[in-house]
Amino acid sequence: LPPGIKRAAHQAPADSYLFYQAHGTRPFIDRAEGIWMHGQDGKTYMDAASGAMVCNVGHSNPRVLKAMREQMERATFAYRLQFQSEAAEGLAAEIVDLMPAGLDRVFFVSGGSEAVESCLKFARQYMIATGQGTRYKVISRHPSYHGSTLGALAVTGYTPLSAPFDPMMRPMPKIATPRHYLDGGTEDEDAYALRHADMLEEAILREGPDTVMAFIVEPVGGASTGAVVPGAPYHARIREICDKYGILLIHDEVMTGVGRTGAFLASEHWKVVPDLIAMSKGFAAGYAPLGAMIAPSRMVAKVLDAGGYAHGHTYAGNPIACAAGRAVVREVVERDLSANARIMGARQMAGLRALKEEFPFIGDVRGLGLLQAVEFVADRETMRVLPPELNAAARLVEIAYEKGLIVYFRRTRGGQSGDHIMVTPPLTITDKEVDTLLERLRDSLVALRKELAGRY
């Protein structure tokens, strides 16, 4: 424990009294600005993960800090049933302006899991309010990640995280996430995408259309798939199928939203409009816990008329979080950080492609904007995976950390979702910083190559 932190006198002595995984092996954070994080170990780290794809506008952004300070001086908390808040109302108005037409009501929460839970429970209440009470099933994909609370976990397609809790959750149907590369990469991409979209229709028919309420999807895969971008026709076909059966389409933009993929919402790339959107992470960019469900007023009206939305959290619409979110969204829009994500994303992708040429154990590099991933394999031709005990992706993350480069952690467990790292720096990254990132990544790959030599 660093000086100034006292040991708990009547408890067992510990290096850390927290019990997050891997926590004790990390240095204490001293300060952070832009893309750089300074540890109390005296080392400077490049944050090429944006924490966990959170800090889209970088650390210590002066405009966000000022907005938060100003809000703090006025009121730090105002409970939504007792006061309206200019910060919350203002952020809602500005965010609605950036949404597709019709998505015009905002329900604030404090994180991604809460945003997903809100969508699921809102969808259910909408079904009841419109006389469709038999509908409760939410189809989702495997692999996928939608959060760690029990509702969000039930639709998460990643059994190492969900299996222990199966008896506590209602099983929800899953369809395969399209992963063209990991499925061999030889089938025509559009045909592959459509075949996977059509699995939704098959699942609806199998389950019985009058029992299915919604389909939830990450428009671009997150850490569970390694930035998998579905083939061009996928999202439009999914929308068609949902419409055909009166099923709500929920886009989980928790990771992809607020400019990350080179557009404010990832769904803009395909011009597909969902019924509900879950947002968080980049929304307040790590400055405060903030998330939201965005819903159309025509649906909200039905739920409110039928007695109200039976859901909510104490911290919802917290003024400091909303002030932070408002400043973040203005930064993203006014500085056009989505455009920077596209430009710097292209530079970074070119660099990753060059690394793929150099390191045969890189099977694939992919992504959209600054949501990118590098997939490790034993054999590019056969797509044979590296032996799980080598834990290649996790090792790379450790090696890079040692070299002052933070890339996104994922634990390789049973190869369910490949063996990849995420390279997702803040959207404010400059071309020089992209080059530094790539140099440090290359150094790390050289070290990993040494470790892997002769072991697969």
What residues make contact with ligand PMP under the rule CB under 6 A?
Answer: 52, 111-113, 116, 145-147, 218, 222, 252, 254-255, 280
In 214-336, which residue ranges form alpha helices assigned H by DSSP? 234-245, 297-305, 319-334
Q: How far is the CB of 406 from ligand PMP (least distance, A)?
A: 16
Which three-class secondary structure state does DSSP give residue 113? helix
Contact (CB, 8 A) for 401 and 45 = yes
The 8-class DSSP code of residue 23 comes to G
- In the complex with ligand PMP, the residue whose CB is nearer, 218 or 275, is 218
Q: How far is the CB of 158 from ligand PMP (least distance, A)?
A: 11
- In the complex with ligand PMP, the residue whose CB is nearer, 252 or 331, is 252
Q: How far is the CB of 346 from ligand PMP (least distance, A)?
A: 23
Concatenating the DSSP letter of every residue in 374-425 gives EEE-SBTTTTBPPPGGG-HHHHHHHHHHHTTEE-B-----TTTT-SEEEE--
The residue number with the shortest CB distance to ligand PMP is 112
- In the complex with ligand PMP, the residue whose CB is nearer, 245 or 270, is 270
- In the complex with ligand PMP, the residue whose CB is nearer, 109 or 213, is 109
Concatenating the DSSP letter of every residue in 33-79 gives EBTEEEETTS-EEEETTHHHHT-TT-BS-HHHHHHHHHHHHH-S---
- What's the full length of the chain, in residues? 456
Q: How far is the CB of 280 from ligand PMP (least distance, A)?
A: 5
Contact (CB, 8 A) for 247 and 213 = yes
Q: How far is the CB of 19 from ligand PMP (least distance, A)?
A: 17
The Cα 400–Cα 394 span in angstroms is 10
Q: How far is the CB of 152 from ligand PMP (least distance, A)?
A: 6
The Cα 266–Cα 234 span in angstroms is 13
Q: How far is the CB of 278 from ligand PMP (least distance, A)?
A: 7
- In the complex with ligand PMP, the residue whose CB is nearer, 254 or 272, is 254
- In the complex with ligand PMP, the residue whose CB is nearer, 125 or 225, is 225
Cα angle 373, 23, 446; round to 5: 40
- In the complex with ligand PMP, the residue whose CB is nearer, 52 or 355, is 52
